[in-house]
């Protein structure tokens, strides 16, 4: 029998048994229920965003991940509001993100209200702090979203800590603007710096988004997230950040050929199988439909074992945090 990337496989059946499907939900420490498979909107240009989100709703998605810096919230919001009329706002989980230039405590509430205005919503289910450092806001019009120093590095406002921003976001819960708080791109020390610093389960981090896929060794922060009841969320699960999709990866592409299932289906199922929120998006209807099917079945043990071995071997070298020492792939990627 052929092998995937050198691993002997025998006869492979890739998936078995229906599980919760696209409606499967994970509970947060503050009693929220989040659909495990979410639709990411970072890849949607404004011209196609409304149609793509509307189709995702038709395919069963009930979790949508947005951000002000994506530049498409107005169009995304139009589709979500229509969806809320059909399916009920309470049945659609909507998150957005606070961009780095808005992370000074003085700017947090205004930025959140701007996002709510763009999306046309009364509240967000979850509001992420998009980066673990505050970037200095320049007096320019429009606001420079990627301010740099003379050395070409992000212009970080060292007077503002992640905890300062976090406390300001907690205030949005108290005002009814958001229902939970999330973190993005944080390492272990950064998550530890906010956990337990603001009393009450409602103010506990609910989710932390980071790069998670079979080709990357699991960052140390993931175990800590589990210990603290914080759900890990896999952003960009279909490719390594800033690189080509897994269709070009020898091991995963080989496994795809052996099983007859797409690389996208395999790597999405890997994160779902590991009980993580998984965020995947596309402007193409066929991709949206196929990704939605990924949640329908759990993995067979043989496929799980191959991906586990590959993952533990470390498909790519572990990368240090990409923030704040550099822009997200020099502006190529703003997850």
- Say whether pLDDT at 203 is over 90: yes
User: How many whole angstroms separate alpha carbon 53 and alpha carbon 16?
Assistant: 29
- Residue 15 pLDDT: 52
pLDDT higher at 21 or 327: 21
Residues 184/129, Cβ–Cβ less than 8 Å: yes
Residue-range domain boundaries for the chain: 25-244+275-298
CATH 3.20.20.100 fits 25-244+275-298, yes or no: yes
User: How many whole angstroms separate alpha carbon 84 and alpha carbon 93?
Assistant: 10
- Say whether pLDDT at 285 is over 90: yes
Most confident of 25-34, 135-144, 209-218, 296-305: 25-34
User: How many whole angstroms separate alpha carbon 311 and alpha carbon 198?
Assistant: 35
Give tens-digit pLDDT for 40-98: 999 999 999 999 999 999 999 999 999 999 999 999 999 999 999 999 999 999 999 99
Q: Which residues are catalytic?
A: 70
Give tens-digit pLDDT for 146-198: 898 888 888 999 999 999 999 999 999 999 999 999 999 999 999 999 999 99
- Residue 315 pLDDT: 54
- Residue 88 pLDDT: 97
Mean pLDDT of 319-326: 41
Most confident of 115-119, 250-254, 290-294, 325-329: 115-119
- Residue 40 pLDDT: 95
User: How many whole angstroms separate alpha carbon 230 and alpha carbon 218?
Assistant: 15
Is 130 assigned to a binding site? yes
- Residue 320 pLDDT: 40
Claim: this prediction has a pTM higher than 0.95: no
Quote the mean pLDDT of the chain: 84
């Amino acid at each position: 029998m052929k092998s995937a990337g050198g691993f002997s496989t025998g006869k492979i059946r890739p998936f078995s048994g229906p599980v919760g499907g696209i409606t499967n939900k994970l509970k947060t420490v503050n009693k929220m229920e989040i659909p495990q498979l979410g639709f990411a909107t970072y890849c949607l240009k404004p011209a196609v965003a409304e149609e793509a989100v509307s189709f995702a709703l038709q395919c069963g998605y009930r979790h949508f991940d947005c951000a002000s810096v994506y530049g498409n919230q107005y169009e995304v919001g139009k589709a979500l509001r229509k969806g809320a009329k059909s399916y009920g706002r309470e049945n659609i989980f909507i998150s957005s993100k606070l961009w780095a230039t808005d992370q000074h405590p003085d700017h947090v509430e205004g930025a959140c209200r701007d996002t709510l205005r763009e999306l046309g919503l009364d509240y967000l289910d979850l509001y992420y702090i998009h980066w673990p450092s505050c970037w200095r806001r320049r007096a320019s019009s429009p606001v420079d979203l990627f301010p740099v120093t003379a050395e070409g590095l992000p212009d970080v406002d060292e007077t503002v800590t992640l905890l300062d921003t976090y406390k300001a976001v907690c205030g949005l819960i108290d005002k009814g603007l958001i229902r939970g708080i999330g973190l993005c791109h944080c390492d272990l020390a950064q998550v530890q710096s906010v956990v337990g610093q603001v009393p009450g389960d409602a103010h506990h981090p609910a989710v932390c988004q980071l790069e998670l896929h079979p080709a990357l060794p699991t960052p140390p922060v993931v175990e800590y997230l589990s210990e603290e009841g914080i759900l890990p969320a896999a952003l960009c699960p279909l490719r390594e950040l800033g690189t080509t999709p897994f269709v070009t990866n020898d091991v995963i592409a080989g496994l795809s050929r052996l099983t007859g299932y797409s690389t996208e289906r395999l790597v999405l199922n890997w994160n779902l199988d590991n009980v993580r929120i998984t965020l995947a998006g596309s402007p193409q209807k066929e991709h949206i439909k196929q990704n939605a099917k990924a949640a329908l079945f759990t993995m067979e043990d043989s496929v799980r074992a191959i991906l586990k071995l590959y993952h533990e071997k470390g498909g790519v070298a572990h990368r240090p945090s990409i923030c704040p020492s550099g822009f997200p792939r020099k502006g190529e990627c703003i997850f």
